[in-house]
């Protein structure tokens, strides 16, 4: 699919990776870029049309799909990370918020925009996932569950929308240098611009998956031996963190 001349909608376009996605789309000649955000006044990227949207509000999602009926490229970027464990968290509030946003919010967007994309010959959906889709880490446990659900969702809608010619792209990344990863220090981080460039290169090439960095590529390659290769260092790191606290 060509970005030049496309009409795109990016969720969470007010900051971080969403802003980089919107900027890259404008740079590649998209005819129109809707920048969706809970606070549309915070969407300040030149050339981007602000639109108010909380992706967990299904009624508003439906309104936006009706209002933006010219969209040919949907970028589901909005997400939350609460750094919450499964067992040690005080309650399931963080897990529910992450699932409500990262999984159900993205699902609502895909459902609302599938007919819009079909009306324009198929178009494309980009779902922003994570290396956390592939394995569990106690530091980001419930977030990982929501991104694993998002990975399954992405594979599923690709199958369901194949008949209408919609390209469905999964983007997995390790740390990206945004507010979300601010707590992670002394780790390599992708730039938002690099993730945005790789994403739209994939859309233009018709590729269904982006593994944005070396760590993400390594983890995906090791999945068939995850209990030998992926989980032992995660366990060791978690055990030493727990021991350090006691
Ligand atoms: N940063 C990383 O290390 C990393 C790595 C892999 C994947 N990702 C994924 O990349 C995407 C973008 O994250 P980021 O790094 O740019 O994080 P960020 O800087 O925290 O930005 C998150 C964006 O999502 C928006 N958002 C959250 N809940 C929303 C809702 N219910 N409705 C509409 N918008 C909502 C936020 O809006 P407000 O400003 O209103 O809060 C903000 O625009 C997320 O899906 C994230 O999971 C990030």
Q: pLDDT digits over 183-200, tens only?
A: 999 999 999 999 999 999
Question: 130: Cβ below 6 Å to ligand 1?
Answer: yes
143 an active-site residue?
A: yes
103, 135, 143, 231: the catalytic one is 143
What's the pLDDT tens digit per position in 94-119?
999 999 999 999 999 999 999 999 99
Q: Whose CA is nearest to atom 48 of ligand 1?
A: 176
Contact 197, 24 (CB under 8 A): yes
In 120-230, where does DSSP find H-type helix?
Answer: 141-161, 192-205, 214-221, 226-229
Instruction: State the Cα–Cα distance between residues 17 and 245, nearest whole angstrom.
Output: 33
Give the Å distances, CA to CA, from 201 to 125, 126, 195, 196: 14, 12, 10, 9
Question: 100: Cβ below 6 Å to ligand 1?
Answer: no
Work out the average pLDDT over 219-223: 98
Q: Whose CA is nearest to atom 17 of ligand 1?
A: 180
Mutational pocket test of ligand 1: of 11, 17, 23, the residue with most ligand atoms within 8 Å of the beta carbon? 17
In 93-182, where does DSSP find H-type helix?
Answer: 93-98, 106-119, 141-161
Q: How far is the CA of 246 from the centre of ligand 1 (A)?
A: 33
The residue assigned the tokens 């919010």 is 105
For the whole model, what pTM was predicted?
A: 0.98
Contact 172, 133 (CB under 8 A): yes
């Amino acid at each position: 699919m060509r970005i030049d001349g496309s009409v795109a909608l990016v969720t969470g376009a007010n900051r971080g990776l969403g802003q980089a996605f919107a900027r890259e789309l404008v740079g590649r000649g998209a005819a129109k870029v809707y920048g969706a955000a809970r606070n549309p006044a915070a969407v300040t990227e030149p050339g981007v049309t602000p639109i108010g949207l909380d992706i967990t509000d299904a009624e508003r999602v439906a309104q936006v799909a009706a209002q933006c009926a010219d969209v040919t490229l949907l970028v589901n970027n909005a997400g939350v990370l609460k750094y919450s464990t499964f067992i040690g968290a005080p309650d399931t509030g963080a897990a529910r918020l992450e699932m409500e946003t990262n999984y159900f919010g993205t699902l609502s967007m895909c459902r609302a925009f599938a007919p819009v994309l079909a009306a324009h010959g198929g178009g494309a959906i980009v779902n922003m996932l994570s290396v956390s889709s592939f394995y569990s880490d106690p530091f980001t446990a419930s977030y990982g569950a929501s991104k694993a659900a998002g990975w399954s969702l992405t594979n599923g809608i690709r199958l369901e929308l194949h008949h209408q010619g919609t390209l469905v792209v999964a983007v997995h990344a390790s740390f990206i240098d945004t507010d979300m990863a601010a707590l992670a220090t002394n780790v390599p981080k992708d730039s938002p611009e690099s993730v945005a460039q790789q994403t739209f290169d994939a859309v233009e090439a018709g590729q269904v998956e982006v593994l944005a960095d070396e760590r993400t590529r390594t983890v995906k390659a090791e999945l068939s031996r995850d209990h030998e290769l992926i989980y032992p260092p995660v366990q060791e790191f978690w055990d030493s963190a727990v021991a350090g606290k006691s």
